[in-house]
Structure 1
Amino acid sequence: MPLLSQDKINRLPERAREVVEYRKSGLSLNHIQGCSLGCSYCIRHTYGLWDENQPRALMSDAEAVEELVAHRYFQPHVTPIQLFNRATEPFLPKVRPHTFAVLENLDARELTNHVLVITRHKLTDDDADQLNQLRHLKVTLLFTYSGIDNPKIEPYPSHIAAESLKLMSAPEVRKYRTVLYWRPLVPGLNDTDEHLATAFELSKHADATVFTGLFYRGEIAEYYKANGIPEPYEGTARRKIVPETLERRVLDAFSSTTALFRKTSCAVSYAHGLPDYNGHVGIRELCDICPLSQLERCLNAHRVPSAEQVRDVARVLPEARELEVVDITGRAAVVSGLWEEQPRYFLQHALGFQVHDERHPHHANRHGRADIGWKGTPA
């Protein structure tokens, strides 16, 4: 793939130039940007990348991996990694070779970090063969599936992701894991009884299933209005929106399974037989749907840090010099003085324990989601 000139890179939006960025489920590598799938709710809206519908590279794969592993947030064997999760589809024909080049480079370093690869594209037996050549990384394929059939919202049909999930889950012996990434669930759009039943049947092919709602940010709302797409909610939110009644219906539809999770890291960790690397187990209402074996695994790994331990971990980060530990309970450490999200994710993964920002409290039973659609909040 041709490299962008430095002049063109300099003209990109600031966040698009940030090849390595920490997100909640991992340190995200995005040196290839641009996607042709056109999902209306794509996070690319918020990075100023929506109009880039063809992938292009900001640097070589080798340079990108070096930037990742040399990053101040990266911890060998600890930091979960996300590959091309905010700027392109990792299995587009032009992107696929770069996806495998990055995976093979990381694996050759004998790193055992989680690597999350989120896709909705058509995968093949050759992809399975290549993934099975990796010896060290803990790779998870998360197949984005919604069942939405409105081409203005989701032009690339969901059934392709469903077939890819089935194909990649079929081998009896495989080193990678598969997750049904059931999202975005939106009331009145893809939550009929038929939608829920179809997702339940599809979940039987995956190692785990995680369900979640819509990131409905201002930029996405503006795009919906400009393109005549029905607005799903009256307001926007910084967190994903999963109304209370929708969650209840999902749990009822999946009442006979034990591999359903509310959080991505929980599903990924379960699929690999490991405790949740985000330490959600302290928030026990999150875990009421977890398999007992996974709950025990997470509880055995659960360690409540002291305030001094939190500060010790934060000392390596210049952007955390104003950090203050407000409170620590068995649920989470509450901190202030972090003026962006990224150092908080670093702390969370380094400690294996929830770290919350005092400015954005987690309300009981919302599970870290938006308040929209919950009792006492707007519908």
Structure 2
Amino acid sequence: MTRTPVALDTAISRGTRALRMMPAEQIARLDPYMAQFIGYRKSGLSMNNIIGCPLDCAYCVRHFWGNFEQKIPQLIETTANAVQALVDHPGFAPHVTPIQLYNKATDPFLPAVKPELFAALHDLDRRGLTNLVLLITRFRVTDADMAELESLTHLRVTLLFTYSGIEDTRIEPIAKSSITLTSLQTAGRTPGRRTKVILYWRPIVPGWNDHPDTMNRVLDAGRDADGIVFTGYYHKPENAEFITSLGIPLPYGLDDVARRKAMPAEIDEKVVAAWKKSGISTPLYRKTSCGVAAAHGVADYNGHWGVNDLCDICPLAQQTLCRDAHRAPTTSELDAIFDTLGYSSPVAFDDGHVWTRGLSEQQRYPIQHQTGYQIWDTTLPHFHGNHGRSLVGFTPDEADQHHIAEVRRDLEHQTRFDDE
């Protein structure tokens, strides 16, 4: 669909309207994934009872589920009910499961969404929960908002400010404003803050924001943050079509579409080199959970030490913390978690991770978070040096592929044996 992006001032005014409940017939027509307001993601159990965002980022993941044209945020469930559903979810463990709020279909700091965000946070905090909470935004965070976050006494909150350095307003209409940078500074410079602040450098896309000057500008913006996390871009037909309609050359070919984010090795190398050259003291991380965990002084809850080629840029103290906490779960511990979640799968213990067979990402992540150990599936393999990324710009090692094939055969044999 060819369409002109909404002007930023219009987008902001749309985002201030009071929320209303989406009509039932409209909810019934939503993509099932969008209608699922509690779901598991790699960075945590995610609550998304509000749908609609006016910020018009061209690469937005809402293209994938046919919801990009929903600009005005609307409720699909009350926030009180959504919070209760979150803590009642089979995969939720008090004080353990990381939580994400409004990270799928809106921005939590849009004026109309913010009251619901704070209501959810206070509800969770009153329960005495100490879970990590991730809030991803590129919008306006004020001193008053920081005071509200600082009033929480139990939850461990992290603000992740999405800032890419992209200047093309066709790609990011908000790029022409200083909203995100001002918010990052406001949050980062809050005196004595308990709330952690991450510069979420994403998406990094060749030709869009990988010029050295752009990279230096982004890194400089991260001086007040507790960490910088960088990642790539989801390249799929739906957003590729929209980006093309805006007259923007695609960064990757249509044959390169993938389930995971594209982060070619050469871009990873450029980012790390620019960070080292900048001399800033803010640590750099490849994975969201690594940056969040390190900011709070705990081991990575996704157990990335099991693929520690990712960890070479992490502070040595954090590497030690993650290494010391990294322990493979026992078979009985896995059995107990599987029973609680109602899952069934053969397992194989490998170097730093456990293989399963036939478990989706939403099924594997609660196991991973409760064990602090990588849980992989043979149908969705990870490759050395390319963990959790698409294969664009990367060639899997032949020995790696051979090993995965062997694991697949072993788990298939276990399944046949168990069925007998």
User: Could you say which residue in structure 2 is the equivalent of 1:59?
Assistant: 77
TM-score with structure 1 setting the length: 0.95
Offset of residue 40 of structure 1: 0.9
Give the conservation status (yes or no) of the 8 Å contact 1:282–1:332.
yes
User: Could you say which residue in structure 2 is the equivalent of 1:174?
Assistant: 193
Q: What amino acid is the match of 2:231?
A: T
Equivalent position to 1:250, from 271, 293, 318: 271
Offset of residue 374 of structure 1: 2.3
Offset of residue 222 of structure 1: 2.5
Equivalent position to 2:375, from 348, 355, 358: 355
Deviates more, 1:212-221 or 1:30-39: 212-221
User: Could you say which residue in structure 2 is the equivalent of 1:93?
Assistant: 111
- 3-state SS, counterpart of residue 374 of structure 1: coil
Equivalent position to 2:171, from 153, 157, 160: 153
Q: What amino acid is the match of 2:91?
A: Y
- 3-state SS, counterpart of residue 173 of structure 2: coil
Name the % identity: 44
Q: Distance in 1 between matches of 2:291 and 2:118?
A: 23
Deviates more, 1:38-47 or 1:124-133: 38-47
Higher helix share goes to which structure? 2
Output the aligned Cα RMSD. Answer: 1.5
Q: Distance in 2 between matches of 1:258 and 1:228?
A: 36
Equivalent position to 1:373, from 388, 393, 409: 393
Give the conservation status (yes or no) of the 8 Å contact 2:52–2:74.
yes
Q: Distance in 2 between matches of 1:162 and 1:4?
A: 32
- 3-state SS, counterpart of residue 316 of structure 1: helix
Instruction: Kindly indicate whether residue 323 of structure 2 is the aligned counterpart of residue 299 of structure 1.
Output: yes
Q: Distance in 2 between matches of 1:236 and 1:330?
A: 29
- 3-state SS, counterpart of residue 112 of structure 2: coil
User: Could you say which residue in structure 1 is the equivalent of 2:92?
Assistant: 74
Equivalent position to 1:222, from 219, 241, 262: 241
How many residue pairs get aligned? The number is 373
- 3-state SS, counterpart of residue 174 of structure 2: coil
Offset of residue 293 of structure 1: 0.5
User: Could you say which residue in structure 1 is the equivalent of 2:251?
Assistant: 232
Instruction: Kindly indicate whether residue 388 of structure 2 is the aligned counterpart of residue 364 of structure 1.
Output: no
Q: Distance in 1 between matches of 2:183 and 2:266?
A: 30
CA offset digits 1:261-300 (Å, max 9, x no partner): 0000000000001110101012120111111100111111
Q: What amino acid is the match of 1:295?
A: Q
Offset of residue 220 of structure 1: 1.5
Instruction: Kindly indicate whether residue 346 of structure 2 is the aligned counterpart of residue 324 of structure 1.
Output: yes
Offset of residue 375 of structure 1: 4.6
Equivalent position to 1:205, from 214, 221, 224: 224
User: Could you say which residue in structure 2 is the equivalent of 1:288?
Assistant: 312
User: Could you say which residue in structure 1 is the equivalent of 2:11?
Assistant: none
Offset of residue 175 of structure 1: 1.5
Offset of residue 170 of structure 1: 0.3
Q: Which runs of 5+ in 2 are unaligned?
A: 1-18, 398-420
User: Could you say which residue in structure 2 is the equivalent of 1:117?
Assistant: 135
User: Could you say which residue in structure 2 is the equivalent of 1:164?
Assistant: 183
1:136-151 alignment, distance < 5 Å: 136-151=154-169
Give the conservation status (yes or no) of the 8 Å contact 2:48–2:102.
yes
Deviates more, 1:27-36 or 1:305-314: 305-314
Q: Distance in 2 between matches of 1:247 and 1:159?
A: 27
Q: Distance in 2 between matches of 1:245 and 1:239?
A: 17
Q: Distance in 2 between matches of 1:264 and 1:53?
A: 27
Q: Which runs of 5+ in 1 are unaligned?
A: none
Q: Distance in 2 between matches of 1:143 and 1:241?
A: 20
Q: Distance in 2 between matches of 1:38 and 1:371?
A: 28
Q: What amino acid is the match of 2:309?
A: E
TM-score with structure 2 setting the length: 0.86
Q: Distance in 2 between matches of 1:52 and 1:268?
A: 30
User: Could you say which residue in structure 2 is the equivalent of 1:186?
Assistant: 205
User: Could you say which residue in structure 1 is the equivalent of 2:292?
Assistant: 268
1:16-55 alignment, distance < 5 Å: 16-55=34-73
CA offset digits 1:116-137 (Å, max 9, x no partner): 0000001111001101100000
Q: Distance in 2 between matches of 1:311 and 1:283?
A: 24
Offset of residue 114 of structure 1: 0.7
Q: What amino acid is the match of 1:324?
A: P
CA offset digits 1:157-195 (Å, max 9, x no partner): 274212211110102311110000000000111011101
